[in-house]
C-alpha cells in the first residue's frame, strides 16, 4: 500500500499516524492476545482474534489493573500527568517505527517493559526518539499483581492438561513472552528484523527482562537485553522466594476470607475487589504473586539462573543502576528497631555483619540508612551478577552508572527512574523540570548508546566516548559513568555494598 500509515499484520490491517515531524510511524493499542477476561482470567494468553477491514491504531489502549499512585506523590508528579482507563483487558502494544522502509535494510526491534506501579501509556515511555535513531520500539502492556501471579490448585491442573506441566501464577511472564513472539512474527510488517529483537526494562521491568533471558520458551530468540535498576541477583527476592504450592495455600486462605471456594466463582469477582484483597506488602507480592520456577516457563528463579549463567552466551547484555536509587523514597515510619527487623529478615544469620557495617544509632540515622540502603542493594546486586558472569566465562556485559542529578529542589539526586527522560529523549514529557543543554547532550549520548546496542549488541559508535565491557569485576572493576562525566570509572564500593555482594554470591554457593 502507498499509505505508510497502513500496515498488514497477522490479524489484519492497522491504520496508525505520523509524528509531528512526519518521520515516525506510530501504531497504538495493537492487540497481541485476546483480552484475558471472564473465563480467560488466569489463563495463558490466547492468540488475538483477526478483524475485518482496517483497525484504527491511533489511540492507546487500556492499561493494566494497578493501584494508581497519588498525583501528589513524587512519582505521581514526575510521570503521571494523564490517567488512562484501567482494565484486565490490557494486552496491547504501542509501536513506533521509522517512516522509511527498505527492502534490504531492516530495523532492530526493542520491546520495553515498564516497572511496578507503572503502565505502558505513560508519556515518558515515548519511542519516537528510538525510531528517529533507526530502532522500532514497542511498549508492552501486560498483566500485573493478582491478575498476573495468582496460584491455585485448579489453575495448576488446568495448565497441566494444556501444557503438560503443573503450574499457575506465571501469567504476566507468559504475556511478556507472547509479546516477544508477536514482535518476531510481525517484525517485517513494520520494516523490522526478526533476528534482532531485544528487550529492555527498568525496575520491575528489568526483573521481567531477566526472566525473559531466563525462560526456555525464548531460548535462541533474543538478540539483546538491557536491565535498568534491577535484575542481577537480589537478596530481597532470595529471602522471600516461594513455591507454587505455598502460593496456592496463600491464595486459598485469601479466597476463604472472601467466601470463594472455586475458580469459577473467583473468575466472577470484580477486578477492584481482587485488587483490594491482594494489595499486600511488597514481600508478600514478591513471594506469592511473582513468577516461580515451574519446569515450563522458568527452570530456576531468575537469581539462580543468573548464578548458573544459563544461555547468556546467546544474548548481548547491558546492565546498570542510578547513583541514588533510594533518594526519591521516604521512610517516615522507620525506626531503629523496625530497620533492624528488616535487616534480620533480609540477611538471616548474617544480619549482624550488615548491622556492623551501617553503624545505625537512633531512629533518624535508621531512616537515612534505609534510604541509602535501597541504592546500595541495587548496585551490589547488579555488580554481583556481573562478577558471577565474569567468573563463569560468559560474554562480558556493558555496565553503567547513571549519575546526573535531577534538576529541582527536592534533593533526590540521580534517583530511581531518573534516567527515563534521557534514554527516551523525553525531557519535554516532564515539563516542570528545568532541563538544560547539558541534560539534552547527555540524553543524545545515552539514547544513541541504547540504539547502537539494539542494532549491533555494542553501544559504541562514532564520536561517542568508548564504553568497554566489564571483564573482571572482582579484581578490576570498571563501569561507564553516564552523567556529569562520560567515561569508564571505578564504581563506588562501601562496606555495605561489599557485604551485600558477598552475601548474594554466597547464597547459592552455600545452598
Distance CA 366, CA 335 (A): 6
Mapped onto helix, strand or coil, the DSSP state of residue 241 is coil
Q: Which residues of 20-58 are buried (b: 16+ CB within 10 A; e: fewer)?
A: eeeebbbbbbbbbbebbeeebbbbbbeebeeeeeebebe
Q: Return the H-helix or E-strand segment holding 224.
A: strand 224-228
Which residues are known to be catalytic? 203
Q: What angle separates helix 153-163 from helix 244-258, to the nearest 10 degrees? A: 130
What are the phi and psi torsion angles at 405 (to 5°)? -75, 140
Q: Where are the alpha helices (DSSP H) in 136-281?
A: 146-149, 153-163, 171-186, 204-212, 235-240, 244-258, 263-266, 271-277
Element (H, E) at 25: strand 24-31
Of 303, 109, 272, 302, the residue nearest 196 (C-alpha): 109
Q: How many CB atoms lie within 10 A of CB 438?
A: 12
Q: Are 415 and 324 in contact (CB under 8 A)?
A: yes
Strands 12-15 and 6-9: antiparallel
Exposed / middle / buried, residue 391 (Cβ in 10 Å: 0-12, 13-18, 19+): middle
- Both ends of the chain: CA-CA distance in Å? 59
Residues in CB range of 157: below 8 A, 6 or more apart: 166
Sheet holding 486-489, edge to edge: 17-18, 24-31, 92-98, 136-140, 107-113, 192-202, 224-228, 316-322, 398-402, 479-482, 486-489
Distances in Å between the Cα of 348 and the Cα atoms of 75, 340, 374 are 32, 11, 18
Q: Are 305 and 225 in contact (CB under 8 A)?
A: no
The whole-angstrom separation of Cα 375 and Cα 379 is 6
The bridge status of strand 224-228 relative to strand 316-322 is parallel
Following CA atoms 404, 410, 416, 417 in sequence, which dihedral angle do they give, to the nearest 10 degrees? -80
**Cα 133 from Cα 318, distance rounded (Å):** 18
Q: Cell numbers for 450, please give them.
A: 541504547
Phi, psi angle pair for 91, to nearest 5°: -85, 75
Amino acid at each position: 500500500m502507498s499509505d505508510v500509515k497502513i500496515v498488514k499484520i497477522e490479524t489484519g490491517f492497522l491504520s496508525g499516524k505520523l509524528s509531528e515531524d512526519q518521520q515516525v510511524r506510530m501504531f497504538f493499542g495493537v492487540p497481541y492476545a485476546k483480552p484475558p477476561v471472564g473465563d480467560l482470567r488466569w489463563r495463558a494468553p490466547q492468540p488475538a482474534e483477526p478483524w475485518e477491514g482496517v483497525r484504527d491504531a491511533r489511540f492507546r489502549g487500556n492499561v493494566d489493573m494497578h493501584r494508581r499512585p497519588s498525583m501528589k506523590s513524587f512519582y505521581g508528579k514526575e510521570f503521571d500527568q494523564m490517567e488512562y482507563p484501567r482494565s484486565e483487558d490490557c494486552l496491547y502494544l504501542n509501536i513506533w517505527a521509522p517512516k522509511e522502509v527498505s527492502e534490504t535494510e531492516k530495523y532492530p526491534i526493542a520491546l520495553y517493559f515498564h516497572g511496578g506501579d507503572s503502565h505502558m501509556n505513560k508519556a515518558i515511555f515515548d519511542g519516537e526518539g528510538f525510531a528517529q535513531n533507526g530502532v522500532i520500539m514497542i511498549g508492552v502492556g501486560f498483566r500485573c499483581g493478582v491478575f498476573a501471579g495468582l496460584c491455585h490448585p485448579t489453575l495448576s491442573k488446568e495448565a497441566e492438561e494444556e501444557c503438560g506441566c503443573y503450574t499457575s501464577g506465571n501469567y504476566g511472564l507468559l504475556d511478556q513472552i507472547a509479546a516477544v513472539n508477536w514482535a518476531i512474527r510481525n517484525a517485517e510488517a513494520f520494516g523490522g528484523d526478526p533476528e534482532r529483537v531485544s528487550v529492555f526494562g527498568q525496575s520491575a521491568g528489568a526483573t521481567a527482562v531477566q526472566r525473559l533471558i531466563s525462560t526456555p520458551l525464548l531460548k535462541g530468540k533474543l538478540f539483546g537485553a538491557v536491565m535498568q535498576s534491577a535484575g542481577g541477583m537480589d537478596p530481597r527476592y532470595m529471602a522471600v522466594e516461594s513455591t507454587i504450592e505455598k502460593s496456592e495455600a496463600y491464595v486459598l486462605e485469601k479466597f476463604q476470607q472472601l467466601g470463594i471456594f472455586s475458580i469459577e466463582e473467583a473468575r466472577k469477582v470484580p477486578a477492584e475487589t481482587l485488587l483490594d484483597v491482594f494489595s499486600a506488602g511488597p514481600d508478600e507480592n514478591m513471594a506469592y504473586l511473582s513468577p516461580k520456577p515451574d519446569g515450563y516457563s522458568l527452570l530456576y528463579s531468575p537469581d539462580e539462573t543468573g548464578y548458573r549463567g544459563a544461555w547468556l552466551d546467546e544474548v548481548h547484555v547491558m546492565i546498570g543502576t542510578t547513583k541514588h536509587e533510594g533518594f526519591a523514597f521516604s521512610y517516615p515510619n522507620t525506626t531503629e528497631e523496625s530497620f533492624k527487623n528488616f535487616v534480620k529478615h533480609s540477611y538471616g544469620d548474617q544480619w549482624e555483619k550488615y548491622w556492623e557495617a551501617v553503624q545505625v544509632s537512633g531512629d533518624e540515622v535508621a531512616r537515612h540508612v534505609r534510604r541509602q540502603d535501597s541504592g546500595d542493594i541495587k548496585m551490589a546486586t547488579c555488580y554481583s551478577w556481573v562478577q558471577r558472569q565474569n567468573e563463569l566465562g560468559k560474554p562480558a556485559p556493558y555496565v553503567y552508572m547513571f549519575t546526573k542529578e535531577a534538576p529541582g529542589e527536592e534533593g533526590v539526586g540521580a534517583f530511581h527512574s531518573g534516567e527515563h527522560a534521557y534514554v527516551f529523549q523525553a525531557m519535554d514529557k516532564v515539563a516542570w523540570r528545568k532541563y538544560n543543554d547539558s541534560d539534552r547532550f547527555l540524553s543524545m549520548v545515552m539514547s544513541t548508546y541504547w540504539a547502537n546496542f539494539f542494532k549491533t549488541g555494542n553501544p559504541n559508535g562514532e564520536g561517542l566516548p568508548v564504553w568497554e565491557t566489564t571483564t573482571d569485576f572482582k579484581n578490576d572493576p570498571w563501569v561507564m559513568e553516564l552523567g556529569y562525566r562520560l567515561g569508564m570509572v571505578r564504581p563506588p564500593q562501601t562496606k555495605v555494598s561489599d557485604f551485600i555482594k558477598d552475601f548474594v554470591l554466597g547464597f547459592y554457593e552455600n545452598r
